[in-house]
């Protein structure tokens, strides 16, 4: 296989083809070179340098403290793995308040090695999305619970799509995002039986997180999947490994042996 097969356009086209034939899309987060390389070798379809790094890497309480400089730094690290998956980077909080600001910061992430950027929001950020797409940059959308708005939500995550009015807004935003040219849409913490309706309403893939099994794919924070952040595990995750606890124990065993041999 040659590198020209892994252009952003080809990878986005591949995702749409996967939806059409009913093949699930696997997406995981990665924030550094070794994890990006390992997950790409495993065959992941999308690698997301997520602003979730604020909690699982930088120690912030939520994503709102993550800066564009943080995202550029970690995107550059993941890009050095030269993954064959679609390497996507989150646009952090307040980095796309205006179309011009959105384009400037999206270009920074692309220069750092991202092949696409992800933005939270629906119809209200269409001007930003259209400006970025007009520059030839691939965009992934994000609807439902928006972590960058966690403070506006009272610091708690809430299931979206329970009420009819909210469901109509989500459908309208999904259709509008597709029309604006986004490559796929992450659906976070949306009422499970409603995600099916969203997925069937658009031709681009939906990537679910805590939104049930009927999206075209699923995305997880890698630390949640492998138990690398043992101080907090989301309710919808059952870690398949305990790397955090194992690392702590390995270090404790080494320390004990070292001190016994003084």
Q: In this structure, is the dihedral angle defined by the CA atoms of residues 111, 143, 231 and 37, taken in order, positive or negative?
A: negative
Number of Cβ within 10 Å of residue 103's Cβ equals 18
- N- to C-terminal Cα separation, the chain: 54
Closest CA to 152 of 210, 105, 191, 94: 94
| Bridge partners, 197 (sequence order) | none
Q: In this structure, is the dihedral angle defined by the CA atoms of residues 233, 237, 238 and 239, taken in order, positive or negative?
A: negative
Q: Which of 9, 152, 166, 188 is catalytic?
A: 188
| DSSP symbols for 70-130 | HHHHHHHHHHTT--SSEEEEEPPTTS-SSHHHHHHHHHHHHHTT-SEEE--BSGGGHHHHH
Distance (Å, whole) CA 38 – CA 119: 25
Distance (Å, whole) CA 176 – CA 198: 12
Distance (Å, whole) CA 115 – CA 117: 7
CA-only gyration radius of the chain, Å: 19
Q: Is 188 a catalytic residue?
A: yes
**Residue 195 structure tokens:** 């995600």
Catalytically active residues are: 188
């Amino acid at each position: 296989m040659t590198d020209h097969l892994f252009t952003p356009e080809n990878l986005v086209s591949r995702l749409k083809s996967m939806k059409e034939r009913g093949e699930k899309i696997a997406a995981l987060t990665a924030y550094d070179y070794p994890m990006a390389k390992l997950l790409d070798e495993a065959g992941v379809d999308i690698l997301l340098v997520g602003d979730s790094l604020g909690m699982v890497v930088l120690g912030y309480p939520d994503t709102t403290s993550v800066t564009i400089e943080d995202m550029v730094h970690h995107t550059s690290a993941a890009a050095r793995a030269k993954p064959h998956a679609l390497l996507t980077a989150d646009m952090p909080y307040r980095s796309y308040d205006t179309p011009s600001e959105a384009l400037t910061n999206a270009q920074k992430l692309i220069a750092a090695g991202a092949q696409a950027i992800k933005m939270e929001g629906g119809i209200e950020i269409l001007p930003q999305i259209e400006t970025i797409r007009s520059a030839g940059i691939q965009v992934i959308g994000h609807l439902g619970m928006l972590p960058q708005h966690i403070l506006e939500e009272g610091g708690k995550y809430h299931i979206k799509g329970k009420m009819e009015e909210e469901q109509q807004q989500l459908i309208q935003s999904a259709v509008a995002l597709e029309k604006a040219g986004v490559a796929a849409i992450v659906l976070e913490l949306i009422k499970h039986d409603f995600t099916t309706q969203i997925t069937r309403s658009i031709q681009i893939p939906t990537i679910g997180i805590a939104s049930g099994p009927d999206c075209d794919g699923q995305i997880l924070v890698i630390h949640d999947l492998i138990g690398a952040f043992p101080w907090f595990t989301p309710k919808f995750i059952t870690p398949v490994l305990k790397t955090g606890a194992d690392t702590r124990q390995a270090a404790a065993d080494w320390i004990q042996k070292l001190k016994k041999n003084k």
